[in-house]
Amino acid sequence: MKGGVLSQMRTMERPERYGLSLTDEGRYRLLVEAVTDYAIYMLDPDGYVTSWNAGARRSTGYERKEILGEHFSRFYTPEDRTRGLPVHTLEVAEKQDKCEEEGWRVRKDGTRFWAHAVCEPVHDHAGRLVGFAVITRDLTERRKAAEELKQSNEQFRILVQSVTDYAIYMLDPGGIISNWNAGAERLKGYRSDEIVGQHYSKFFTEEDREAGLPDRNLKIAARQGRFESEGWRIRKDGSRFWASVVVDPIRDETGKLLGFAKVTRDFTERRNTQQALEQAREALFQSQKLEAIGQLTGGVAHDFNNILAAILGSLELVRKRLPDDRQTSALVNNAILAAQRGATLTQRMLMFARRQKLHPERTDIPSLVRGMGGLMQRTLTSSVRIETRFPLTLPPVLVDPNQLESALLNLAINARDAMPGGGTIVIAAREESRPSLPDRTTPDHLVCLSVTDNGEGMDEETLERAVEPFFTTKGVGKGTGLGLSMVKGLADESNGRLVLKSKKGQGTTVELWLPVAHAEDELPKLADGTRDAATPPPPLTVLAVDDDNLVLMNVEAMLQDLGHNVYTASSAAEAMEVLHRGTHVDLIVSDQAMPHMTGIQLAELVKETWPDIAFVIATGYLELPTDVGDVVTLTKPYMESDLRRAIAAAIEGRRARAD
């Protein structure tokens, strides 16, 4: 402190050496006495106090008369006195011309304060040591504030380091990582010694680095005061996670940019949950849409099938009565085919909209495919070629053959649409025991029927959604998105599986796994109008019931053409009136969907009083109650031959009950 208070104190001791008068010495003595923030006092060469200012009295509590002549060691703590620190201080000051230190000092009342002390030797004009000048300042409050700041910083450091759900770290203005917390290590996989000093762009994907996102993010944070975003980031092991990122600039008091504080959180699970929720909402929406279409289609199909039933029945009867005119017969046959196509369309829509009642049979796949080869080739364009690859021996499968034909036709059309420039469709089959299928609950012995194209193929996202109802990649008006959904429904209801294999630009293979039919799977003769009875029944008295007069007239005409005596009723109540009049009836052919009472309800009511009456229920729907007893069902629209088989099956069932 040369030039400071100590120098001034030296001057007071040797004023003549510096050319000062006693008047000057008096002034400096007044100056020292006036200082209250510093304890300024003199010691003799042995360390005894020889002068004492007001600042010393204020900081230590000793009055001048109490402390003059006392050794200055009393200001030191007992521990420091034991260590010999007071003597050491004087020795250092004498040898080095100054001793400066900080430490605890003791007041008169025994309390301690943190002091900054400077001790300098004082010499006379001959250079002899005459004592020491000491200046002490109480820094207790400053030390307390520093300790609190240090403690606060340490607590903050511990807090940041203890956070494991967030990666919290600092960047310099250029994006270089300067520190690293435990959360960052857990989240990104890097230890602090591996990553500090590296550029933070290491965490970005290659695409984002090429797009310049790391630098852009820091510039936005510096310009706008904050940057926040979500995106893919890379861990040390190369895996990706979906990150929520916040970057805040750090500036000093002058506004100079010192760096950035960066907080990153792994939101992969939350993102997956949100996506799953969105998919569930979409699935619910599609399910509701499907249910609405199902309800609408059910009502429309009933009316449409009634119309088709009247058309088909009438055309068939007209064809039987036509003169031998080839041109007229061709026109009638064409009209019948058109009506049958309309019936098939209605059945497919019902199949999409609701579960269909399947009629599984032992089905030979090669024979079925060969039988529909002409239909498929006519449906496809001339630029598409069909190949079949079947082994020499292939066991039959248990499946509804009509629905399998529809499924194959759907798959062939999808394959054609995937090859706009033409190509080859391969239909193949193989037998396999215990196949490895996803989520397999199917039988151990199956046949795989596959349809393969060499078309555009599907990416992973499209492949995952391909069987969703209403999902389609075709243009507006070129696809309903129900084809694969229908095929999957057929596979599931047949106790099989549908497997899709595809890669973008490498074509698609659709595998339909179906259970092998065994001898015990041979179906007994069911009460179903689609199977022939052993012998045609004799002429019967039949009661026809339908609320649609067009259909009723058509049914009456077909029954009469088959040689039966026919009564008609336009409702279930009217049918009961006919029976209560005592009219003998062998068989009732009734519509299912009628107001006030359905066909099944009518059958149950009739059997309470007339249990020997056989029943055939005709329906335009694809579902009926599962418990219908020995009632024979007949799907609308139907031909006269279908009606004949249904009647035969019903009479045979009645005969079997009687036996």
Rounded CA separation 25/18 (Å): 11
Picking from 131-135, 301-305, 461-465, which range would have the lowest pLDDT averaged per residue?
301-305
Q: pLDDT confidence of 209, banded at 50, 70, 90? A: very high
Lowest mean pLDDT among 101-105, 294-298, 458-462: 294-298
- Max mean pLDDT among 76-85, 292-301, 625-634 falls in 76-85
* Cα–Cα nearest to 618, from 293, 308, 294, 291: 308
Q: Over 50: is that where the pLDDT of 179 sits?
A: yes
Q: What was the pLDDT predicted at 124?
A: 86
Give the tens place of pLDDT for each residue, 323-369.
777 777 777 778 877 777 677 666 655 655 554 566 788 899 999 88
Once rounded to an integer, what is the mean pLDDT over residues 204-228?
93
Residue 159 has pLDDT above 60, yes or no: no
Q: Say which residue, 615 or 482, is predicted with more confidence.
A: 615
pLDDT tens profile 373-385 = 777 777 777 788 8
Most confident of 245-249, 483-487, 527-531: 245-249
485: part of which helix (H) or strand (E)? helix 483-493
Return the top range by mean pLDDT from 66-70, 184-188, 268-272, 639-643: 66-70
Contacts of 461-464 with C-beta under 8 Å, sequence gap 24+, read 463/500, 463/502
Percent of the chain with pLDDT over 70: 78
Tokens 């029944």 correspond to 537
User: Which of the two residues, 163 and 564, has the higher pLDDT score?
Assistant: 564
Q: pLDDT (tens digit, 9 = 90+) per residue, 130-153?
A: 999 999 999 888 888 777 767 766
pLDDT at 441: 55
SS3 state of residue 541: strand
CB 487 within 8 A of CB 510: yes
Q: How confident is the model at residue 198 (pLDDT cuts 50, 70, 90)?
A: very high
522 or 252, greater pLDDT: 252
Residue type at 522 in one-letter notation: E
Residues 6+ apart with CB under 8 A from 647: 537, 540, 542, 562, 564, 587, 589, 616
Q: What is the pLDDT of residue 531?
A: 42
pTM for this predicted structure: 0.44
pLDDT band of 585, cuts 50, 70, 90: very high
Q: Residue with structure tokens 């996102």?
A: 213
pLDDT at 464 over 70: yes
Three-state DSSP state, 104: strand
- Residues 597-619, mean pLDDT to the nearest whole number: 90
Residue 575: what pLDDT?
93
Query: Cα separation of 190 and 25, whole Å?
Result: 69
**pLDDT on residue 253:** 85
Residue bearing tokens 């090859």: 419
pLDDT at residue 533, as a whole number: 43
Question: Would you mind telling me the total number of residues written for the chain in this entry?
Answer: 659
Instruction: Determine contact, residues 50/65, Cβ cutoff 8 Å.
Output: no
Q: Which residue has the higher pLDDT, 519 or 414?
A: 414
Q: What is the mean pLDDT of the chain?
A: 80
